[in-house]
């Protein structure tokens, strides 16, 4: 569903300067997440640290032409743009979402509470997806910004909506209620999370239930509303559940097994006289109390979506038994010194701490337990009571050491742990910066470390520290050369041809984030990586360009969507798996890339599968195809030109057929670095530049003045003076035939120097000449013969490859290709970046 920009101006009461009455389909708040610039409307929101107005120039350059602003700007600078001036951009966003919601007359479930909102939302989706076409909040989009974005997803195909609503201070819920306008309300619980904005629990309760003001049905545990205030305040039918006989859903018995719970209930029709009742039992594959409470609420909601006169109890019971767990945000990672790291660096409250500690227990296999905690900012408890509770939990879970970061937790822990009988080790730091300043990796060894902190403390920096790898030796990267090489290739391109820069394999060994940064600065259109982890590192480094992931693994789907990465889909199995994942996450029109197999015979849909592929893509709203592409197998070889052109013809036909069947356009690309030089007629909509950007012309044409980007250097550790007949390195394969001077170089095959270059095959550049390798290449070093090179000293630099000794020559000696040499440089080799 779309709106004309003039209509949006009317909805938001904006003062409009409209050049073209554009159709708007997407709402944009983050300049890093541009899917479709031509049909996107950017809301310039003002935050504590950032002002959205400052991103307008960048967004305009990237094709965005529609903006909602709350301050006057020089619109003449943006002659093609439409600007809507409002008093408050966030309020305008909420107004637009509320108007959009009013266009739909379908059941809408609104969920609020302190804990369990996302779980109940996902469980309701699992229980109801067979009967309804459901739109729901992605992840935990339940804030003043997240709710409008969630509601905006509604379209004419949906028959049910499920949205979360979270608040942190009085006055917020009225706004969310006007946007969600739920017909069915669910209250999960009232706990400590997000309590700092409220004077007391009662105030928070009364604020949260404002979501249900106009709901027809409201579901709540009786223990969270013991005085039936919801029933007194609102006109909707209120369904209470619990063990008391007066409840509409009465729990008769609960029997917990090892992996499941058997629950017997009596259901009363809450709106009929005389009451009709149903008694039955069901099982859920969970045993914790929170899951039992959540399942009871879900049961009631599902029944309200059926006719009460003849509910399909058997079907509901069957589905409850198959409920699947909802993934939490806890991440288990390998750390330094044989440690395991549990990353929960997103929140800090009592309830989620207990969940995290339970996870710690599950993952810990007898190792020591360390917990790193920040101040708990969202609690109405006094510090003494709060941190007493935290310490009790830590003791209960047999934690060995706690590290408190923040002024409040540091003060409380120091006071509480003055007792001489206390066995828990503690460390306290006033800030994350102080912890990082005093960090010693030797203090963390063979233990499981839970890292849990409020977002404000940026504990992801601590996570990175504990994962940090050691580096040695030096790979120098000339960023100017990257920019120069890009411009050289661009001289071959039509003005309309876009560029995707491949930064996979750590940017061919050169360092992904740094290379991506310079490419972004010089306005390439896309980046390509091999795996999701590489894309995540780019996002962490502030890279905002679209990023294609060429080898998306099913286990990385969540990482891909969380970081706005765009997967390549090359098989029906992968297509179906990602479609299922997106549906589970409530995501639609997610950007993807389709690979067509034309002769590489590695990955891709066959040219004969286009009909089946297009049929599947049309059957789901999960995807928006951004590009379709294929890989050339031998574009650098003149003897294979006929095959290259055959691939191009096959791909062109397949891409056109797919575009015709999908009914919308996408970018097509097949040309790589070599083809960009040798086959300029294959440019299509975009080319992919790989090793050419790094100064290697794989076509051997010498048509471009490419500069060397990477220089691998090491140093001489020691000089040895050998007598005739002495041997060098392992297995004594090198025996000097005369007195010789041998230099030991601080790099070996563990750093990426091939063993094949031993025994005189390889050479290094020293004192403007080539010095041969002597003996076998060792793991961490190799030796060279410097007998004929005067003046060599210990500590001097040697060039392994660079402008003086091209990597192509090194690859030739090793009987391989430059790709293997460059990508083989170990991550323990330190990268140094410079600009001239």
Indicate which residue of 268, 504, 713, 763 is catalytic.
504
H/E stretch holding 405: strand 401-405
Q: Say how far apart CA 281 and CA 313 lie, in whole Å.
A: 10
Structure-block tokens of residue 637: 């070889």
Whole-angstrom distance, CA of residue 138 vs CA of residue 38 = 24
Active-site residue identified among 334, 612, 730, 830? 730
* CB contact at 8 A, 782 and 753: yes
Of 112, 126, 115, 118, nearest to 285 by C-alpha is 126
Q: List CB contacts of 204: < 8 A, sequence separation 6 or more.
A: 114, 190, 194, 195, 198
DSSP letter for each residue of 638-678: GGGHHHHHHHHHHHHHHHHHHHHHHTS--EEE-B-HHHHHH
- Asked if 210 contacts 177 with a C-beta cutoff of 8 angstroms, the reply is yes
Distance separating alpha carbons of residues 801 and 825, to the nearest angstrom = 11
Give bridge partners of residue 714 from the DSSP assignment. 798
SS3 assignment, position 766:
strand
Altogether, the residues listed in the chain come to a count of: 836
Which is nearest to 690 in space by CA: 448, 528, 461? Answer: 528
639's tokens: 């003897």
Name residues whose C-beta falls within 8 Å of residue 137's C-beta, 6 or more positions apart in sequence. Answer: 118, 121, 146, 147, 150, 162, 163, 164, 586
Residue 68 is classified by DSSP as E
Return d(Cα 766, Cα 760) in angstroms, integer: 15
- Is residue 670 within 8 A of residue 627, CB to CB? The reply is no
SS3 810: helix
- How many alpha carbons lie under 13 Å from residue 816 in its C-beta half-sphere? 17
Active site residue 730: yes
SS (H, E, C) 582-630: HHHHCCCCEEEEEEEECCCCCCCEEHHHHHHHHHHHHHCCCEEEEEEEC
Q: Return d(Cα 485, Cα 787) in angstroms, integer.
A: 38
Ramachandran sector of residue 825 (left: φ over 0; alpha: ψ -120 to 50; beta: rest): beta
| Residue pair 610/658 in contact by the 8 Å Cβ criterion | yes
Residue 256 to residue 262: CA distance in whole angstroms: 6
CA 349 to CA 454: how far, in whole Å?
Answer: 8
Cα–Cα dist 354/397, whole Å: 9
**Which DSSP symbol is given to 493?**
S
Contacts of 195 (CB under 8 A, 6+ apart): 201, 204, 378, 379, 380, 381
CA distance 358 to 46: 39
Residue-wise burial string across 791-804, b where 16 or more C-beta atoms lie within 10 A, e elsewhere: ebeeeeebbbbbee
Q: Could you tell me which residues come within 8 angstroms of residue 467 by beta carbon, excluding any fewer than 6 positions away?
A: 333, 334, 335, 336, 341
What are the CA-CA distances from residue 818 to residues 311, 354, 490, 738, 813 (Å)? 68, 52, 23, 35, 11
3-state secondary structure of 513: helix
Residue written as tokens 């094949």? 756
Within 10 Å of residue 385's Cβ, how many Cβ atoms? 12
Among all residues, which ones are annotated catalytic?
Answer: 504, 730
């Amino acid at each position: 569903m779309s709106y004309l920009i003039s209509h949006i101006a009317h909805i938001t009461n904006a003062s409009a300067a409209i050049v073209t009455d554009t159709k708007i389909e997407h709402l944009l708040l983050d300049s890093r997440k541009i899917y479709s610039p031509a049909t996107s409307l950017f809301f310039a929101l003002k935050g504590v640290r950032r002002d959205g107005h400052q991103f307008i120039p960048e967004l305009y350059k990237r094709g965005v032409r529609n903006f909602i602003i709350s301050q006057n700007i020089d619109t003449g600078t943006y002659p093609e743009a439409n600007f809507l001036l409002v008093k408050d951009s966030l309020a305008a966003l909420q107004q637009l979402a509320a108007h959009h919601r009013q266009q739909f007359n379908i059941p809408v479930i609104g969920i609020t509470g302190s804990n369990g909102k996302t779980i109940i939302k996902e469980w309701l989706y699992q229980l109801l997806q067979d009967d309804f076409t459901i739109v729901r909040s992605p992840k935990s989009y339940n804030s003043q910004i997240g709710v409008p974005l969630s509601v905006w997803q509604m379209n004419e195909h949906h028959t049910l909506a499920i949205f979360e609503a979270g608040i942190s201070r009085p006055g917020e819920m009225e706004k969310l209620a006007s946007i969600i306008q739920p017909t069915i309300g669910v209250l999960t619980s009232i706990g400590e999370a997000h309590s700092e904005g409220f004077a007391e629990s009662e105030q928070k309760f009364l604020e949260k239930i404002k979501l249900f003001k106009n709901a027809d049905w409201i579901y709540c545990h009786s223990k969270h509303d013991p005085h039936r205030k919801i029933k007194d305040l609102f006109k909707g039918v209120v369904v209470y559940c619990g063990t008391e006989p007066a409840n509409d859903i009465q729990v008769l018995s609960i029997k917990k097994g090892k992996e499941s719970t058997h629950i017997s209930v009596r259901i009363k029709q809450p709106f009929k006289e005389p009451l009709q009742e149903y008694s039955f039992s069901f099982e859920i594959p969970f045993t914790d109390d929170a899951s039992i409470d959540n399942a009871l609420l879900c049961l009631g909601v599902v029944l309200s979506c059926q006719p009460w006169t003849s509910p399909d109890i058997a079907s509901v019971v069957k589905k409850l038994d198959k409920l699947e767990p909802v993934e939490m945000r806890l991440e288990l990672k390998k750390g330094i010194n044989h440690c395991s790291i549990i990353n929960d660096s997103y929140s800090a409250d009592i309830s989620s701490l207990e969940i995290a500690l339970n996870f710690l227990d599950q993952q810990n296999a007898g190792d020591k337990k360390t917990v790193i905690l920040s101040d708990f900012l969202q609690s109405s408890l006094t510090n003494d009571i709060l941190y007493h509770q935290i310490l009790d939990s830590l003791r209960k879970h047999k934690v060995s050491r706690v590290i408190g970061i923040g002024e409040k937790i540091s003060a409380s822990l120091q006071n509480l742990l003055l007792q001489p009988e206390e066995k828990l080790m503690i460390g306290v730091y006033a800030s994350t910066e102080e912890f990082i300043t005093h960090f010693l990796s030797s203090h963390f060894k063979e233990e499981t470390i839970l890292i849990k902190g409020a977002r404000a403390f940026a504990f992801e920096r601590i996570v990175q520290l504990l994962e940090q790898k050691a580096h040695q030796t030096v790979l120098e990267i000339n960023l100017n050369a990257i920019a120069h090489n890009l411009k050289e290739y661009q001289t071959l391109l039509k003005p309309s041809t876009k560029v995707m820069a491949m930064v996979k394999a750590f940017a061919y060994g050169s360092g992904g984030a740094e290379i991506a940064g310079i490419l972004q600065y010089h306005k390439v259109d896309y980046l390509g990586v091999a795996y999701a982890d590489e894309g995540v590192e780019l996002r962490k480094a502030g890279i905002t360009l679209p990023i294609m992931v060429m080898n998306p693994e099913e286990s990385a789907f969540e990482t891909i969507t969380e970081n706005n990465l765009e997967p390549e889909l090359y098989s029906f199995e992968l297509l179906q798996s990602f479609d299922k994942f997106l549906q589970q996450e409530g995501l639609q029109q997610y950007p993807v890339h389709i690979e067509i197999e034309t002769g590489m015979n590695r990955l891709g849909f066959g040219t004969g599968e286009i009909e089946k592929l297009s049929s599947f893509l049309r059957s789901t709203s999960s995807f928006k195809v951004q590009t379709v592409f294929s890989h050339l197998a031998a574009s650098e070889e003149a003897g294979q030109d006929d095959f290259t052109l055959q691939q191009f013809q096959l791909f062109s036909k397949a891409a056109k057929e797919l575009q015709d069947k999908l009914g919308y356009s996408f970018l097509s690309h097949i040309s790589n670095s070599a083809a960009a030089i040798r086959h300029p007629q294959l440019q299509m909509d975009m080319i992919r530049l790989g090793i050419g950007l790094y100064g290697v012309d794989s076509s051997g044409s010498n048509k471009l003045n490419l500069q060397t980007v990477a220089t691998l250097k090491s140093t001489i550790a020691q000089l040895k003076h050998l007598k005739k007949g002495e041997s060098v390195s392992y297995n004594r394969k090198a025996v000097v035939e005369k007195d010789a001077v041998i230099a030991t170089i601080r790099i070996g095959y563990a750093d990426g120097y091939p063993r094949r270059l031993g025994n005189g095959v390889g050479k290094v550049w020293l004192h403007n000449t080539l010095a041969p390798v002597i003996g076998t290449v060792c793991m961490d070093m190799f030796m060279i013969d410097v007998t004929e090179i005067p003046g060599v000293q210990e500590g001097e630099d040697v060039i392994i490859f660079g402008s003086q000794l091209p990597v192509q020559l090194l690859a030739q000696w090793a009987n391989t290709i430059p790709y293997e040499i460059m990508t083989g440089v170990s991550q323990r080799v330190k990268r140094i970046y410079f600009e001239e």
